[in-house]
Amino acid sequence: MIVAIDGPAASGKGTLARRIAAHYGLPHLDTGLLYRAVAVKLIHRTMLDDAEAGAEEARRLDPAGLNDPELRSEAAGAGASVVSAYPQVRQALVEFQRRFAATPPGAVLDGRDIGTVICPDAEVKLYVTASAEERARRRALELRARGETVDEAEILADIRARDARDMGRTSAPLKPAEDAVHLDTTELDADAAFAAAIAIVERRTKAA
């Protein structure tokens, strides 16, 4: 079984994906980390605006490095939104993601184009969203929990800018797959969102 979960930044899709994967005993891949890893490499080289350098880093990406705490930083997230708009980078990472998903018994993947590009034949597709204001609030709480000083207004502005980039890029823009089930988590806590997602997965798998 392949579960494809898409949605904008801080919508809660990553938390949902991890919990769904654990519930069904499936591997989980946060595909955003792939782009964050490429972005961090380019930031270290001060080459974030170089698409060819991004493709080079993507081709030699070591999955073992996806646990690097730096990948969870705001700079990495903003950089990932930039490099993910480069077609060369996206192409270099597509096959990695597809191989991960196709390995039995399946997987749960979350990102921006899982249901539309990476796994268009996934048995279950979710499009997880929440208001920009709620997503900014959640991100601020997450960063404060790490001891970081944050400006929620700046986070909100960054989220809106990332949404515009992700939805407006020419290569694999962020959008729900035609057969994706929408799940708005604005008014849901983590447990309520998880229960709603499991109900959707169960309905879809039984219908199949």
Instruction: Indicate the annotated binding residues for ATP.
Output: 7-15
- CB atoms near residue 56 (< 10 Å): 18
Residues annotated within a binding site: 7-15
Contact assessment for residue 93 and residue 34, using Cβ atoms and an 8 Å cutoff: yes
